[in-house]
Amino acid sequence: MKEEWIVWYRLRGLGLLCLCSLVFFVGAYLANQRSVTASGAADGRQMPLTCVPTEEKKAVLTFDVQKDSDDVQTILAVLEKYGAKAVFFVTDGWAQAHPQELAAMAAAGHDIGSRGSGQRKADSLSGKELQRELRQSCEQLQKLCGAAVRLYRAPGGDFGNGLAAAARACGCLPVLWSVDSEDWKDYGVESIVRNVVENPRLENGAVIRLHSGAKYTAQALEAIVAGLQEQGYALETLTSLIDFSSVFH
């Protein structure tokens, strides 16, 4: 009986040791993840921005503007109603086909970001090809909207093959997200709202991904904006929260 107790105590001690080790490594992993999102770099590798380091209760709504987006005016109206700002990532083709909507976004004080030409998948481009395309895209968008364009999101968020570093090399900040509404899954208004306002990754500086042209996004947006503001979040543009002089050094 005594030997059984000794074995039991030894096993319990080993279990506690394993548990402490697990807690340590999980904590280290999360700390590293936080440093990646805050600084945009990890172990010398250039990474896309996923959230903005800030102690203020602010968040950023971002919209990937789809080819067939007939809900942009509705989205802009909701944002204006609540005094909220956002970031709109557009392709050159969409901008050329919808110059009035693009101008309205810029005039309302929203950020305009590039999604490239939309002709080729980002992961099919080399770093030099992306830089050339991105420079042309930003110049084109700036001519159309009258505002500087310094943000880039690869379609689908695919920043493989060194594309994040290539974007930074031509003066564009590569942007992903920390909160995904998953509106592209078309699960309905309630699902979209819940995925944002109840998301465990919703925190100061969160970057929230939405889509124009998705089936339920425009319907869900008012509840999303109201829900975030009720939690105390001010909805700002990325350019108002980021010191670009410290991003490109």
DSSP β-bridge partners for residue 180: 209
Distance of CA 64 to the CA centre of its chain: 10
Using DSSP's 3-state secondary structure scheme, residue 210 falls into strand
pLDDT digits (tens, 9 = 90+) for 71-99: 999 999 999 999 999 999 999 999 999 99
pTM, two decimal places: 0.82
pLDDT the model gives residue 244: 81
pLDDT digits (tens, 9 = 90+) for 223-247: 999 999 999 999 999 999 998 877 7
- Quick one: tokens of 55? 């102690």
pLDDT the model gives residue 1: 46
Contact 97, 123 (CB under 8 A): no
Give the closest residue to 137 by CA, choosing from 180, 178, 176, 166.
Answer: 166
pLDDT the model gives residue 248: 64
Q: How far apart are CA 218 and CA 78, in angstroms?
A: 9
Sequence-ordered alpha helix ranges (H) in 40-157? 72-81, 92-97, 99-107, 127-145
pLDDT the model gives residue 35: 33
pLDDT the model gives residue 128: 83
- Quick one: tokens of 68? 């067939």
Q: Which residues of the chain have pLDDT under 50?
A: 1-39, 42-45
